[in-house]
Chains A and B, each alone.
Chain A
Amino acid sequence: MCAPVPTRRQLLAAAGAGGSAALLAACGGSGDAGGATREQLEARDLRLFGSALDLEHTVIAAYTAGAGLLRGEAREHARAIVAHEREHAERLTQMIELMGGKPNPPRTPEEYRRGFPSLSDEDDVLRFAIDLENASVRAYNEALPKLSDPRLRQFAAAPATTEAEHAALLRGDLGRPQVPDAFVTGRSQIG
């Protein structure tokens, strides 16, 4: 009765988290189920991961758009960060497909650029990148309690923490305090 269907099992394997959460995973867990059916919960999981993927695509496009304005260490950091964002996007795409959904492809660079602020120097790029990293932290952390499965929540917590790390690194490049808040929710007023 509690056993996940094979596709679900594949999905959980793809989430990359294991261990003693298995029982909770199979029987439901601590998420905000609210009496929803399994189908409704899975549809919500798909929507949340779809939104996260859209945001990852946007972040990749932003780093690509600003790369030419970065120099030295900031440029190296941005390269490493965008490689992480690509890994996030790949993993999310894989999971959405395993969940039976259809991942949104990225938009064209021009479509993204139209929505971006004007970037004229390195500081502009870093500030915009920090804003996007904070938005990503917020998106993942707000999704956490809504995901139906403990291992999906564990999956989301890992890139959320990595995005917070990116923000700390970029704040350092900008000469700002790297860790301004004890509780990192992506809603920092300091940047």
Chain B
Amino acid sequence: MTLRRRDALIAAAALACARPAAALAQQSADDTFLERTIELELQLAEAYDGEDFEQAALFAEQCREHARGLGTALRNRGGRPPEEPGGFRGGPLALEREAVRTCHDAIGEVSDGRLLPTFAAVMANHGQHLVVLRQRMGRDPIPSAFETGAVQ
């Protein structure tokens, strides 16, 4: 083998390795968003289980529905959904804002376009939960024209 041919083969092998590595890294980033959101959903469901207002049970069930849906998406990608809530802190309002923020971040960063409608539908539901929570607390229910979870 001439030096030139060997160099070319090494370069081709490096390229072949690099492409799947990049793809894997991106898949892993998508999976991380799914895992993080599932953990948040489980934590929110637990937080609502401890609340006694009228819609709390419904909101808890909706969060569990999100966790199941996102878990199916993660399993279909070869991942394993978390079964325990994450270590996030705060009551329902803070957790709902974190859920909106996480979905918003995911929409800007996931590489698998098939995940976008799911994250958008989950984000919008958490926005609606925020409206009810803010109303209960006597706050402005719709404080921002661009809901990203950033406004208190």
Interface residues of A (CB under 8 A from B): 16-17, 19-21, 24, 29-32, 77, 80-81, 83-85, 87-88, 91, 137, 140-141, 144-145, 150-151, 153-154, 157-162, 164-169, 172, 177-179, 181-185
Contacts and interface: CB of A to CB of B under 8 A. Distances in A.
B69 A153 contact: no
B109 A178 contact: no
B127 A162 contact: yes
B145 A165 contact: no
A161 B145 contact: no
Given A80-B142, A153-B116, A185-B117, A165 B107 contact: no
B105 interface: yes
Contact of A16 (B55, B129, B146): B146
Given A145-B113, A151-B108, A165-B142, A179 B120 contact: no
Contact of A162 (B103, B108, B112, B147): B147
A165 B123 CA distance: 11
Interface stretch (B1-9, B58-66, B86-94): B58-66
Given A24-B109, A81-B142, A185 B121 contact: yes
A94 B119 CA distance: 26
Interface stretch (B10-18, B74-82, B130-138): B130-138
B132 A168 contact: yes
Contacts of B147: 158-159, 161-162, 165
Contact of A141 (B110, B114, B117, B144): B117
* Most B CB within 10 A of own CB, among A17, A157, A159, A181: A157
A166 B118 contact: no
Given A87-B146, A165-B127, A169-B135, 6 more contacts: A24-B111, A87-B145, A158-B146, A162-B145, A179-B128, A184-B124
A32 B121 CA distance: 18
26 contacts: A16-B146, A24-B108, A24-B109, A30-B110, A31-B113, A77-B141, A85-B145, A144-B120, A145-B114, A150-B108, A157-B103, A157-B104, A158-B147, A162-B142, A162-B147, A165-B128, A166-B142, A169-B141, A178-B132, A179-B55, A179-B59, A182-B62, A182-B66, A182-B125, A183-B65, A184-B128
Chain B interface: which size bin? 35 or more
A137 B109 contact: no
B145 A30 contact: no
- Interface SS of B by simple majority: helix
Nearest to A147: B116
A80 B87 CA distance: 36
* Most A CB within 10 A of own CB, among B114, B123, B126, B145: B145
B122 interface: yes
A158 B144 CA distance: 9
Contacts of B34: none
A124 to B, nearest CB: 22
Nearest to A171: B128
A176 to B, nearest CB: 12
B148 interface: yes
Contact of B109 (A21, A88, A158): A21
B101 to A, nearest CB: 11
A169 B127 CA distance: 11
